Structure 1
Amino acid sequence: MATTRNEALVRWMQDHGHSANSLSRELNAALEEITGRPGRFDGKAVRDWRAGRVQWPNAATRAAFKRVTGLEAPALGFVPRGRTPSAPTTAQQEDSDMKRRTLLGITAAAAAAAAPGAAGPRRIGMSDVERLQARFTEIIASDHRHGGRLGIEQQAAALADEALNLQSAGSATQRVRSHLYACAAAFRSSAMWAAIDGRRYHDALAHMREAQALAELSGDQRIKFRIWSHAGTLYRHMGRPADAFAANDVARSLHITRRDPLFASLGLARQMAIHGAAQDRSGLRRTFDQAQDAMERADPDACRPLWLTAFYDRAELHSLALSAYLALGDHVSAEYHGHRCLAFLRPHMHRSRAITTSRLAHAQLAQGEADAATATAMRVPADAATQHARVSRMLREFGAALRATAPGSSTVQAWSEHTATWRTAV
């Protein structure tokens, strides 16, 4: 029987920059997280799915696909056994179907609440909040592993909408409603961060505005800090230091920074990075010392949100100093902070390690250390080098600078041969 090519899966892979081999590796990792046993998918398996030779993978494989893509199997073009494959679905149809399912879910909840003889509207409680917070933990983990992916941004935005839909699905106390708004703001701020990390700045601005409104409704100082601090980072990456200072000042003025020195430290650390972009050497040095002092004063046992404790530590402080000194053109200081960051970096911080290693290579090359810099750049994993927008851009710029610094050298040849392997490795 003739097979039908799975156009939906093909489109998803193209949109997210995946080859058959790279997707198989992501699925293997996801399956291990789900089952505790490594997956054994390979490029051939993905090509079979893509070609339509396997139309309905088993349950474990479908769960792995959902973990990687955030989508159910039918949305990826898979067809349950016994059903006839329909014509390829357009992106507009998929979006319409998603909106229709969301609307039907809300309508069904409202209808159940209003049905004659019903016990009453559904009661939304802290268990619903805790379920959303568990999903937020998954988003944080995906960010640290992959960073910047459009799929992470889309999944976080969808979960923000899910949290808002609960506001209309039943009755709740004011405390629960505040928590739901805080969850929605947290998810939206993660979508914003993924867009920043992927250099999709226009989308990040849209997420930022939505997140700011939700944070105000929640009244949660911690999530307000996260969003305004992210806003400062967004403007810094966009080359707008004045706006970056203003946004970060909003974060640093919140009461939470006076109650908890770790929040104050993060605000100062990001201020330091902006000083670097603004070519303010004295401000950079001063705020690094202040951020380090605040971190040392912070109670290590204090109860803090996951998004903060999962990433902010001495490694991140040195990472921001590395970025600041690179922007300032002080490559010796940048290299020092790069090595310190890598020494402190926790094992699960895959995205951060790739970014820091790329920046360190730039700092070494700018000092004329072409061989050492190239060896450093070669330590960046192929998937990060090809699929993470910030890392890809930094390594392209590194290659151009290397060719300008040592044209025709064996080091340039070695780098060219190394980057050629990425086309087959991912």
Structure 2
Amino acid sequence: MDTARNVLLETWMTEHGHSSNTMAEAVNRAVERLTGHPGGCDGSSVRAWKSGRIQWPKSLTRRALEEVTNLPIAALGFAPRGRAVPAPEPEQEDSDLKRRTLVSGGLAAAAAAAVPGSTPRRIGMEDVDRLQRRFTEIIASDHRHGGQLGIERRAASLADEALNLQNSGSASQRVRANLYAAAAAFRSSAMWAAIDGRRYDEAKAHMREAQALAEMSGDQAIKFRIWSHAGTMYRHMGRQADALAANDVARNLHITRRDPMFASLGLARQAAILGASQDRTGTRRSFEQAGDAMDRADPTAHRPTWLVAFYDRAELHSLALSAHLALGDYPAAELHANHCLATLRPHMLRSRAITTTRLAHAQLAQGDADAATRAAMTVPTAAATQHARVSRMLGEFGSALRAKAPRSPLVDAWTEHTAAWRITA
């Protein structure tokens, strides 16, 4: 009987630099983590999976493959013999999310079918360029406001627009890949807005769609963005092991070896996760490596808009600030906060509000309630009342201030200040 090659598994292995032998070793290590005993796979086992001779490995091997790849077994091209690759279990979704999921899975009918008898429209790179301009607008809105439900919805809508364009005419393979990349980019922005707004269930739904679209596009940069965002999401959720695993997927993509700037961002976010995990040595080492990688990066190299718009020395200091706050190293946190604020670009309004709030926390923890309160009062009302992360951190600041200096006039001043926020918001 003829068997079809497992292209999905081959593609994943190629993108992650695995030979048949190294893939077997990774699976064996995963089996050992699961059972306490090493697995028995070798290169010939993996070649049998790739050739399609083995279409449904044993259950333990399937679990190990999912652990190694961070993907469900069906997404790796495996299915019981004689059956199609199973579709994911349907979730309880509203009708709009169902529609988007069907489109992103390639199961929807053409959204803009040509009029019968007319010549199909030709989709070209000018359509992709138009979407890229809209993506730049989304990035700009995020850096001004961040976390807003309106940004999330607008980005999700533009992802649908990119997918609908796929069905509205003919296009070259290059154009189609770019449309999938554009849809993945918009969906990843929706994911980030949901993360920033602490809407984690919505963020995870956007993440799943973004990952599927990124796989169809083959775009390494957008894959990096999605998995790096996933690491940040899990860090904010307090799931540090998941955060490291997701960030490792991003750091192991080939693009981090081609461009040290991607490697630097992956290392910087790893350091922030390690800080939240109370790993002082790992935090320090990762930040040193992130700085070294940034120094090696070619400043003239072409990079995606989303990376160029935010990742620089200021962001490196921002991540260091977050890590040292989590570690309880408040003098170091204050130092990184000041470095960040001194180098932040003017358009980074959301980042400035977050950094200023963290600075206030670092100063208060060192006993300087006066400086901390002055810093916290400089956070703009819009950020203080409309950005979920900033609002939560300022609420925690107020509680800490009342605990440290319950009878201080600073408490009364802070109470009056926050009351004015409620009036003007």
Deviations 1:39-65 (A, max 9, x none): xxxxxxxxxxxxxxxxxxxxxxxxxxx
TM-fit CA distance, 1:287: 0.6
Displacement of 1:424: 2.4
Corresponding residue number in structure 2 for 1:301: 300
**Distance in 2, Cα, partners of 1:128 & 1:403:** 55
CA distance in 1, matches of 2:329, 2:374: 21
Q: % of aligned pairs identical? A: 76
CA deviation string 1:347-402 (max 9, x = no partner): 11000000000011001101111001000100100010000000000000000000
Map residues 263-412 of structure 1 onto 2, 5 A cutoff: 263-412=262-411
Rounded Cα–Cα distance in structure 2 between residues aligned with 1:199 and 1:110: 38
Q: 1:108 to 1:346 in 2, by over 3 A?
A: closer
Q: How does the TM-score come out when normalised to structure 2?
A: 0.74
Q: Which amino acid aligns with 2:122?
A: R
Which digits, 9 at most, give the CA deviation of each residue in 1:153-209, with x for residues without a partner? 000001001101111111100000000000000000000000000000111011111
Residue number in structure 2 paired with 1:13? none
Q: State the shift of 1:419 in Å.
A: 1.0
Partner of 2:112: 109
Give the CA deviation at 1:111. Answer: 3.7
The one-letter amino acid of 2:274's match is: H
Matches within 5 A, 1:198-237: 198-237=197-236
Q: Distance in 2 between matches of 1:108 and 1:396?
A: 46
TM-score, scaled relative to structure 1: 0.74
Secondary structure of the 2:169 match is coil
- Give the match's secondary structure for 2:113: helix
| Corresponding residue of 2:24 | none
Q: Between 313-322 and 410-419, report the one with greater CA deviation.
A: 410-419
CA distance in 2, matches of 1:332, 1:108: 56
Q: For residues 423 and 276 of structure 1, what CA distance do their matches in structure 2 show?
A: 34
Q: Which amino acid aligns with 2:185?
A: A
| Structure 2 CA distance for aligned equivalents of residues 208 and 186 of structure 1 | 11
Determine the C-alpha separation between the residues in 1 that align with 2:232 and 2:183. 21
Contact 2:110 2:164 in 1 (8 A): no
Quote the Cα distance in structure 2 between the aligned partners of 1:253 and 1:108.
36
Q: Distance in 1 between matches of 2:346 and 2:283?
A: 28
Question: Deviation digits for residues 12-54 of structure 1, max 9, x if unmatched?
Answer: xxxxxxxxxxxxxxxxxxxxxxxxxxxxxxxxxxxxxxxxxxx
- 1:276 is aligned with what amino acid? G
2:123 aligned partner: 124
- Give the distance between the partners of 1:422 and 1:310, measured in 2 at CA: 30
Question: Cα distance, 1:94 vs. partner?
Answer: 12
Offset, 1:408: 1.9
Q: Indicate the residue corresponding to 1:157 in structure 2.
A: 156
> For the Cα contact (< 8 Å) 2:114–2:168, is it kept in 1?
no
Report the alpha carbon displacement of residue 425 of structure 1 after superposing the two structures with TM. Answer: 2.2
CA displacement at 1:110 relative to structure 2: 1.1
Q: Distance in 2 between matches of 1:253 and 1:94?
A: 36
Q: Distance in 2 between matches of 1:111 and 1:388?
A: 43
Pairs aligned (count): 326
Q: Where does residue 186 of structure 1 map in the other structure?
A: 185
> Alignment partner of 1:421: what SS?
helix
Offset of residue 109 of structure 1 = 3.3
> Residues 405 and 108 of structure 1: is their aligned pair in 2 closer, same or farther, counting only changes over 3 Å?
closer
How far apart, CA to CA, are the structure 2 residues paired with 1:414 and 1:233?
Answer: 34
**2:244 maps to 1:241:** no
CA–CA distance in structure 2, aligned partners of residues 94 and 226 of structure 1: 28
1:301–1:108 Cα change, 3 Å: closer
Question: Contact between 2:146 and 2:196, CA under 8 Å: does it hold in 1?
Answer: yes
CA contact (8 A) 2:123 2:170 kept: yes
CA distance in 1, matches of 2:110, 2:167: 10
**Which residue does 1:77 correspond to in 2?**
none
Aligned-CA RMSD value: 2.0
Instruction: Determine the C-alpha separation between the residues in 1 that align with 2:307 and 2:261.
Output: 9
Q: Distance in 1 between matches of 2:291 and 2:112?
A: 50
Match of 2:173 in 1: 174
Q: Give the Cα separation in 2 of the matches to 1:226 and 1:108.
A: 28
**Residue of structure 2 equivalent to 1:142:** 141
- Residue of structure 1 in register with 2:132 after alignment: 133
Please give the alpha-carbon distance, in whole angstroms, between the structure 1 residues aligned to 2:113 and 2:206: 28
Counterpart-to-counterpart distance in 2, 1:171 and 1:150: 34
The CA deviation at 1:107 is 6.5
AA matched with 1:242: A
Aligned-residue offset at 1:283: 0.4
In structure 2, C-alpha distance between the alignment counterparts of 1:107 and 1:271, rounded to whole Å: 41
How far off is 1:108 after superposition? Answer: 7.7
Contact 2:148–2:197, Cα closer than 8 Å, also in 1:
yes
Asked whether the 8 Å contact 2:123–2:171 carries over to 1, the reply is yes
Separation in 2, partners of 1:108, 1:177: 16
C-alpha contact 2:227 2:250 (8 A) present in aligned 1:
yes
